[in-house]
Structure 1
Amino acid sequence: MLKLPLELPSFYWSQNKTAIDIKVKDWIEQRLPNSDESLLEKQWDIVLLGAPLSRSSISASAASEFPDHFRKMWKGFGTYNIDTDQDLRDLRVLDLGDIEMHVTDISKCHSNIKKVMNGVSKSFSESLIFTIGGDHSITAMLVSGLKDVDPSKKIGILQFDTHLDLRDLKDQGPSNGTPIRNLIESGIVEGENVYNIGLHGFFNGPSLISYAKEQKVNYITLKQARKKGIMETVQDALLELEAKVDFIYVTIDMDVLDISYAPGVPASTPGGMSTTELFEAVYTAGTSSKIRAVDIVCLDPNRDLAVQPTVKAGVHTFLSFVSGLMNKQV
């Protein structure tokens, strides 16, 4: 087995792989207590990780609960995408389980995240790695783990977010408000290779804008993206990144959605993306041949409404990206 701080998925589904119309729960392979070594030796298009950490969140958050809620929602989605006329069941996806977290030691949690990403990216070098958070602090650790595999490789960041996440590390430490600054100041990512799409409203101060400009961060407001077109904006960002970097990391902060679409987000705001816009954006991102890893962060199921619209949006976001990835392979 993988000698990494990884726990088996804490929620399992019984599967029916013979049905004509299968659900996501019947499609994604899960690492079970009785799984043998051969499961880890197979070729997978996507490997899934859970990173259930939210103690490093600036605002109170139970984003650590999202990986489990994400898995439990699989029964509500089929593998066929009517919008693209694709059946995702043709892709091979393995759920490796959750990265081990310490109850109180955030630095230990971050160390485990970095170690797991490093080990998984080596063991599954041909697979796209998709992590379900967790708060946004996990992104800096995941990208750091990826960088350690081959320090000579240049990494680009495509970020969907309401916030720049460039707060000062001296004030905030490695929290969910600092992951992009953390990556820039540690020399892992160059500011000019960060593209943030979705900023809007009154949620980023002048000091952060000044730092972004100083570091040549590419930030595109939601107003600008809508004027140009969401798909066109993402396509242009990808074209620029693909010309500059060896591979791209996509981070999706669910607070990029308008509060009416995402009540289960701690830092939800008015004026954000609609779910349709986000699904279109991540689908477009999925078509890039240079995407190496993706995360979805900052979704707190405990804040969600009874029918869990935000959790459903999170699963739909994952499936939309995978649809784009499949389109790339067609």
Structure 2
Amino acid sequence: MSEHFLKQPEWVWNVSGNEMPTYVHHWVRPLSEHNQPFDLILYGAPISRSSISVSGASLYPTEFRMMWKSFATYNLDENVDLNSFRVADAGDVMMHTTDILLSHQRIQRSTAFLAEHYPNTRTCMIGGDHSTTACAVRGIKEAFPEDTIGVLQLDTHLDVRDPNELGPANGTPIRQLIDGHHILGEHVINIGLHGYFNAKPLIDYANEHGIQMITLNQARGHGLIKTIKRALDELSGKADRIYVTVDMDVLDISVAPGVPASTPGGMSASELFNSLLEIGKHPCVKHIDFVCLDPSKDSHVSETVKVGVYAWLQFITGLILQSK
């Protein structure tokens, strides 16, 4: 397949020189400039028209890149410098102004293109609302039709609402994938569920299809990092590749003003950071996304965008630690 819909992102840092980068905006390079293998390909899926609630999550890929200047490549806690890890930015998928289905098809085709042309390279999609996850997983399945895909979902919600009622909205991606026979429900583990935010019919659907639901209280009781590791080990025994989807509404509302669906009782920022570090360490994790962060609702200091970039860098630190 040669077709894709990736274009240069709206915001690009003007970087020159060959000196060793010390800040993230100098470290991440455009995919078009790479002449050698790289370790991770980043791309954006800036759509939020498919969100059930009003959302500006389409703005996040740009704000995510703009925030890079605030972060060094050196991780003091882990004594790791990220600059040896090669990250390429493939740009953003071109969205149609009004046609949601066409935009979703473009995300799927662009993901398939990256997976097919760079089969040994991890991919990271920056959303966009959570509808983009279904598109990306279908694209990966298109590129690797014989592979079984396991999904680790960090989320307050199950996202198994009926697309026949809502269309391919952000509350439906896991159900889209199960009903479309792209994944099995028993290959989905959701960690982060809590409280009063999933109606009983959605729980019934999850139970019927074998989705493993681990509430945040259960994960904390057994140890969050132990729970994450156990889930990844279990999925790696069932699937050829693991796709991790991080819905930023898994965060507690007190630390995530820029997430429209964040709730009381969610993860702390530190819990999310530690989880992403552990996820990065696991060799079967080949794909990841970060979705549902709306910069237009963020605080004046962009605290949620900063949390999002920090979480992404923690994942990459984990990838580096994996190889040590």
Matching of residue 227 in structure 1 with residue 229 in structure 2: no
The residue number in structure 2 matching 1:29 is: 29
Aligned pairs, number: 323
Structure 2 SS opposite 1:177: coil
Structure 1 SS opposite 2:261: coil
The residue number in structure 2 matching 1:4 is: 4
Q: Of 45, 56, 69, which residue of structure 2 is paired with 1:51?
A: 45
Aligned mates of 2:15, 2:311 — CA distance in 1: 23
Aligned mates of 1:162, 1:168 — CA distance in 2: 17
The residue number in structure 1 matching 2:257 is: 263
The residue number in structure 1 matching 2:177 is: 183
Aligned mates of 1:305, 1:329 — CA distance in 2: 37
> Please, which moves more after superposition, 12-21 or 189-198?
12-21
Runs of 4+ in 1 over 4 A off after TM superposition: 16-21
Equivalent residues of 1:46, 1:129 under 8 A apart: yes
Equivalent residues of 2:20, 2:83 under 8 A apart: no
Structure 1 SS opposite 2:213: strand
The residue number in structure 1 matching 2:65 is: 71
The residue number in structure 2 matching 1:120 is: 114
The residue number in structure 2 matching 1:96 is: 90
Q: Of 309, 325, 328, which residue of structure 1 is paired with 2:319?
A: 325
Structure 1 SS opposite 2:156: coil
Q: What amino acid maps onto 1:52 in structure 2?
A: P
Write the mapping of 1:162-311 to structure 2, written as runs, cut at 5 A: 162-311=156-305
Q: What amino acid maps onto 2:251 in structure 1?
A: L
Equivalent residues of 1:17, 1:27 under 8 A apart: no
For residue 15 of structure 1, report the CA deviation from its aligned partner. Answer: 2.9
Equivalent residues of 2:153, 2:188 under 8 A apart: yes
Q: What amino acid maps onto 2:311 in structure 1?
A: T
Q: Of 77, 80, 84, which residue of structure 2 is paired with 1:86?
A: 80
Q: In structure 2, do the counterparts of structure 1 residues 4 and 18 end up closer, same or farther at CA, with 3 Å as the change threshold? A: closer
Q: Of 125, 131, 146, which residue of structure 1 is paired with 2:125?
A: 131
Q: In structure 2, do the counterparts of structure 1 residues 135 and 72 end up closer, same or farther at CA, with 3 Å as the change threshold? A: same
Structure 1 SS opposite 2:289: strand
Q: Which runs of 5+ in 2 are unaligned?
A: none
Structure 1 SS opposite 2:42: strand
Structure 2 SS opposite 1:260: helix
Aligned mates of 1:202, 1:19 — CA distance in 2: 52
Equivalent residues of 2:21, 2:83 under 8 A apart: no
Per-residue deviation, residues 55-97 of structure 1 (Å, max 9, x unmatched): 0000000000000000000000001111111001000010010
Equivalent residues of 2:56, 2:295 under 8 A apart: yes
For residue 30 of structure 1, report the CA deviation from its aligned partner. Answer: 2.1
Structure 2 SS opposite 1:159: strand
Aligned mates of 2:317, 2:17 — CA distance in 1: 20
For residue 20 of structure 1, report the CA deviation from its aligned partner. Answer: 6.7
For residue 322 of structure 1, report the CA deviation from its aligned partner. Answer: 0.5
Aligned mates of 2:72, 2:63 — CA distance in 1: 17
Q: Which runs of 5+ in 1 are unaligned?
A: none
Aligned mates of 2:130, 2:186 — CA distance in 1: 20
Per-residue deviation, residues 270-305 of structure 1 (Å, max 9, x unmatched): 110000000111111111111111100000000000
For residue 209 of structure 1, report the CA deviation from its aligned partner. Answer: 0.7
Aligned mates of 2:305, 2:17 — CA distance in 1: 24
Aligned mates of 1:83, 1:181 — CA distance in 2: 38
Q: What amino acid maps onto 2:217 in structure 1?
A: K
Equivalent residues of 1:167, 1:177 under 8 A apart: yes
For residue 205 of structure 1, report the CA deviation from its aligned partner. Answer: 0.8
Equivalent residues of 1:279, 1:317 under 8 A apart: yes
Q: What amino acid maps onto 1:234 in structure 2?
A: I
Aligned mates of 2:141, 2:263 — CA distance in 1: 33
Aligned mates of 1:231, 1:68 — CA distance in 2: 31
For residue 17 of structure 1, report the CA deviation from its aligned partner. Answer: 6.0
Q: What amino acid maps onto 1:288 in structure 2?
A: H
Q: What amino acid maps onto 2:25 in structure 1?
A: K
Aligned mates of 2:181, 2:246 — CA distance in 1: 22
Equivalent residues of 2:150, 2:239 under 8 A apart: yes
For residue 329 of structure 1, report the CA deviation from its aligned partner. Answer: 1.3
> Please, which moves more after superposition, 121-130 or 306-315?
121-130
Fraction of identical pairs, as percent? 48
For residue 126 of structure 1, report the CA deviation from its aligned partner. Answer: 1.4
